[in-house]
Amino acid sequence: MNPHRVRLLNSDFDPLTLDETVDQVFEVVDGPGRGWLCTVNVAILMMMRSDPQLQRFVDRAACTVADGQPIVWLSRALRTPLPARVAGIDLVERVCARAAAADVGVHLLGASRAVVDEVTNRIHSAHPGVRLSFDDGYFDPTEAADRAARVAASGARILVVGMGVPRQERFIEDHWEAMGVDVAIGVGGSFDVLAGLRTRAPDWMQRSGLEWVHRLREEPRRLFSRYFSTGFRFLLLGGRAILLPRYRRR
């Protein structure tokens, strides 16, 4: 475990930039160990509090980064600053770029067949020569072992799973040994954005921590209740973490 990890509420985070996170991925690929990388946003952080299996999965990660500007803000308020947000979408693109240069195979798993096929085509166009294989994420539990076997047969060293939380984490944990990859990365709904089905918030909204507003505008029915409940809990818990030490000192 990285001794410099930052504890925020119920999770430890590695204080890494996007480039440093990519470096970390390839240090694992080049080294003797194996492990998974978790990109944790506010919704996932709150979900972990009521899902012990998900909490244990993140606790055991080789690397955990903050995929949410509010988490970065909380770290600064607690005087244990994380350097930057590391978004899953950006991480997929940077990892594939490095994989193309290093001739390392990457397997994409998730979304529909049409979506993951489009993601693969776009990555191939951006990074010619990258060795990509893929499978869709629409399968029932009886087919999970077959998906894992296909990951192993691909020879990929890096697995990127976009099946939503906590389904993707359950799959990685249950089939970790069978897949034989060096690194697995869960990226939630990133494939839809990478395929162009959903737009990404402008840079200024991302920097301002307002990307959730953009996403809510695109998917109000699906996201409103989740953002309201998880955001409110995060504000309460974060506020308590900031104010309680000051109250005790007084």
* Distance from the Cα of residue 1 to its chain's centroid: 18
In whole angstroms, give the CA distance from residue 31 to residue 92: 20
DSSP classification of residue 142: G
* Strands 183-186 and 35-40, sheet pairing: parallel
Helix (H) or strand (E) holding 186: strand 183-186
In whole angstroms, give the CA distance from residue 158 to residue 29: 8
Spans of the chain, pLDDT less than 70: 1-3, 213-216, 223-224, 247-250
CB contact set of 96 (below 8 Å; sequence gap of 6+): 106, 123, 126, 127, 130, 132
Question: Helices then strands (H, E): number in the chain?
Answer: 13, 8
- CB 200, CB 89: distance < 8 Å: yes
In tens, the pLDDT along 164-208 reads 999 999 999 999 999 999 999 999 999 999 999 987 777 777 777
Cβ-in-10-Å burial (0-12, 13-18, 19+) of 209 comes to middle
Helix (H) or strand (E) holding 198: none
DSSP classification of residue 202: P
